[in-house]
Amino acid sequence: MPEGDTIFRAAATLHRALHGQVVTRFVSVYPALTRVDTDSSVAGRTVDGVESRGKHLLMRFSGDLILRTHMRMNGSWHIYRPGERWQRPREDMRIVVATAAFEAVAFRVSDAEFHTSASLGRDVRFQSLGPDLLANSFSIDEGRASLRAAPHSTIAEALLDQRVMAGIGNVFKSEVLFEARVAPSASIDSLDDETLTRIVRLAQRQLRRNVGDDARSGRRTTGRLNPHERVFVYGRAGDPCYVCGTPIVLVKDGKDARLTYYCPGCQR
């Protein structure tokens, strides 16, 4: 599933291409979206902006219409020039927002709905999101307090809970906990404030490091230039830890069997 850095970059790319442009065509395979378009045409509206909130992407149109999408496991947004060949099959298309200059195409985005500002404000799933690690307003103290409010969760569970902090998925969960030298099974109430502060600061730093233009060449958490050493532990089960040489371990947690990679030597 795309994590907060991926959604942030997608929103920034869409915003640069579409902001201030008039929609010339809107197409979707989803009846709920086409019904809104039929009743209140998207074509003719101006794209007021595109932004991310955690793993959600919001495309705002004039006239108080908001398209909220969530990419889930396999979704993605692409930008094309008119007439440019798509890089994904036509049958993967779910939404098209076209302007005179660009076509924004959502491929295999399974979670999409229109909102007004009022209805988005009533949406429990959206409004229950925790502080967004990539938001300019995010504070380390707020993130630590949000973690502390889930004392009986393990730190790995809490980092994945979008109601605690928005934007972290399996990759950053594993990478942040390794860099913090904290075992994923540690409970929140077993960790002191200094450790929680370090975890939050590392999470913010790692996500922010991966939203710039240089992140297009691949996600990095180690800061190493070697392309084979981009990450500390994620996807490296059985490989030696870069720090202590202990083989990296993979565990699957919870009903969704979420993947966690860690070093038993460094993360005791």
Q: Which of 3, 103, 157, 175 is catalytic?
A: 3
Q: Which of 9, 45, 53, 55 is catalytic?
A: 55
Q: Is 55 a catalytic residue?
A: yes
Decide: residue 10, CB within 10 A, 0-12 exposed, 13-18 middle, 19+ buried.
buried
Q: Which of 108, 205, 209, 258 is catalytic?
A: 258
Q: Which of 2, 144, 198, 219 is catalytic?
A: 2
Which segments of the chain are extended strands (E)? 25-28, 47-53, 56-61, 65-70, 76-80, 93-98, 103-107, 111-115, 249-253, 258-262
Quickly list DSSP for 83-150: TPPPSS-GGGEEEEEE-SS-EEEEES--EEEEE-HHHHHH-HHHHT---BTTSTT--HHHHHHHHHT-
* Residue recorded with tokens 């730190």: 155
Q: State whether residue 185 is helix, strand or coil.
A: coil
Q: Is 142 a catalytic residue?
A: no
Strand (E) or helix (H) holding 172:
helix 170-180
Q: State whether residue 169 is helix, strand or coil.
A: coil
Q: Which amino acid is at 112?
A: A
Residues carrying an active site annotation = 2-3, 55, 258
